[in-house]
């Protein structure tokens, strides 16, 4: 995530809006959206912040993971093995995009539980995503423990909890996005969100579409408030506020639109929930200090439990 000033943010929002206005796809020709159904209550208590923390540590220990790097490939291999142990089937989604550094091959990692349809052309109701890449930094070693690592750790722990109930696991597709971070300083119309833009196009071409998207980012530090997207539907907003309260997560509606991986998904018409820590006030954001020292199990646990309580109480997106 990046936001350098409100003015820049506004310009970016306008730019992104223009891009998506042009790219907005039509509804699917057949089948429409898959129907959302609540997950059972009781899954939330199974989510372990300590286990999520161990996943963040394992990812960070593999080193920086900018797109197309050795570290990114190592991280993909680690996550594929972890998913496999938990009964999830993974799919790499690779594509090449022009960037300010020339063409780059990006790779999203998708996962579905073995109990769900193996037909990737048909969607399952819920997509849960976060970015896997860490921002490429020339001046210093940057591992993105909170920025990219924390949401990935939460997603892997969600995969473990959901696998305990195959019927619930069958309703969820996980996606770890590549290239959320801009190659240059900040996300612009043509730089950043590479993976989520590609994934949004991909789900738009399926014969059926998901009903709900959830995107997590910078969720590893409970020192700061969390925000959700102002574009959330009334139903999503009311439900997530209650779920956060029940989970002890300090969550507020963001006053401004934040440009992150949920934006391309929202512009396919998918109702989305975006949860993000208050990165604007994190002194280590996009700095060397974004390491394991600032990650706490409590923040990860509150995020995971809020997500599961939200999915157990949402009537309809
Ligand atoms: Zn970032």
pLDDT tens by residue, 271-316 = 999 999 999 999 999 999 999 999 999 999 999 999 999 999 999 9
What count of other Cβ atoms lies within 10 Å of the Cβ of residue 214? 23
Distance 302 CA to ligand 1 centre (A): 21
pLDDT at 32: 85
Tell me what pLDDT residue 118 has. 83
CA distance 190 to 1: 15
Provide the pLDDT for residue 117.
77
CA 11 / ligand 1 centre spacing (Å): 18
Q: Nearest 5°: CA angle at 261, between 259 and 267?
A: 80
Q: Give the pLDDT score at 26.
A: 58
CA distance 212 to 235: 12
pLDDT at 133: 98
Low-confidence stretches of the chain (pLDDT < 50) are: 1-4, 6-7, 9-22
Q: Is the sign of the CA dihedral 169, 175, 176, 182 positive or negative?
A: negative
Query: How is the chain split into domains, by residue range?
Result: 6-313
- CA angle (82, 84, 85) in 5-degree steps: 65
Question: Which residues does 9 contact at the CB level (< 8 Å), separation at least 6?
Answer: 3, 256, 257, 258, 259
Distance from the alpha carbon of residue 87 to the mean position of ligand 1, in angstroms: 30
Query: From CA 12, how far away is CA 3, in angstroms rounded?
Result: 9
Burial category of 145 from C-beta neighbours within 10 Å (exposed 0-12, middle 13-18, buried 19 and up): buried
Identify the H or E element spanning 214.
strand 212-217
What is the Å distance from ligand 1's center to 26 Cα?
31
Q: What is the fold, at CATH topology level, of the domain defined by 6-313?
A: Aminopeptidase (3.40.630)
Q: What distances in angstroms separate CA 30 from CA 33, 121, 201, one per listed residue?
A: 9, 12, 17
In 3D, which of 173, 190, 174 has the Cα closest to residue 259? 190
The C-alpha atoms of residue 284 and residue 280 are separated, in whole angstroms, by 10
pLDDT for 15: 45
The pLDDT of residue 16 is 46
Report every protein residue that has its C-beta within 5 angstroms of ion ligand 1: 1, 147
* Residue that the structure tokens 């899954």 belong to: 43
C-alpha of residue 27 to centroid of ligand 1, in Å: 31
User: What pLDDT, on a 0 to 100 scale, did the predictor assign at position 7?
Assistant: 47
How many angstroms separate the CA atoms of 90 and 118, rounded?
10
DSSP state letter for 146: I
Residue 144 Rama label (left phi>0; alpha psi -120 to 50; beta):
left
Q: What is the pLDDT of residue 31?
A: 65
């Amino acid at each position: 995530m990046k936001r350098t000033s409100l003015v820049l943010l506004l310009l970016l929002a306008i730019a992104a809006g223009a891009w998506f206005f042009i790219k907005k796809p039509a509804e699917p020709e057949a089948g429409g959206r898959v129907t959302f159904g609540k997950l059972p209550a009781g899954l939330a208590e199974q989510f372990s912040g300590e286990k999520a923390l161990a996943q963040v540590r394992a990812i960070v220990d593999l080193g920086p993971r900018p797109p197309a790097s050795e570290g990114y490939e190592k991280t993909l291999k680690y996550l594929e093995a972890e998913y496999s142990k938990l009964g999830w089937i993974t799919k790499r989604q690779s594509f090449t995009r022009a960037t300010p550094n020339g063409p780059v091959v990006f790779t999203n990692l998708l996962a579905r539980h073995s109990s769900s349809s193996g037909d990737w052309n048909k969607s399952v109701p819920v997509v849960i995503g976060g970015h896997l890449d860490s921002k490429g930094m020339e001046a210093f070693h940057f591992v993105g423990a909170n920025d990219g690592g924390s949401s990935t750790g939460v997603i892997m722990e969600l995969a473990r909890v959901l696998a305990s109930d195959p019927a619930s696991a069958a309703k969820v597709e996980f996606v770890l996005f590549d290239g959320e971070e801009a190659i240059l300083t900040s996300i612009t119309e043509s730089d950043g969100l590479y993976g989520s833009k590609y994934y949004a196009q991909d789900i738009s071409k399926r014969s059926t579409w998901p009903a709900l998207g959830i995107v997590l980012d910078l969720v590893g530090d409970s020192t700061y408030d969390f925000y959700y997207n102002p574009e959330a539907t009334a139903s999503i907003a009311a439900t997530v506020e209650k779920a956060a309260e029940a989970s002890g997560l300090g969550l507020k509606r963001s006053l401004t639109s934040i440009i992150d991986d949920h934006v391309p998904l929202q512009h396919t018409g998918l109702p989305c929930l975006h949860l993000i820590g208050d990165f604007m006030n994190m002194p280590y954001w996009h700095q060397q200090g974004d390491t394991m020292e600032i990650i706490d199990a409590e923040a990860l646990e509150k995020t995971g439990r809020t997500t599961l309580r939200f999915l157990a109480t949402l009537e309809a997106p």
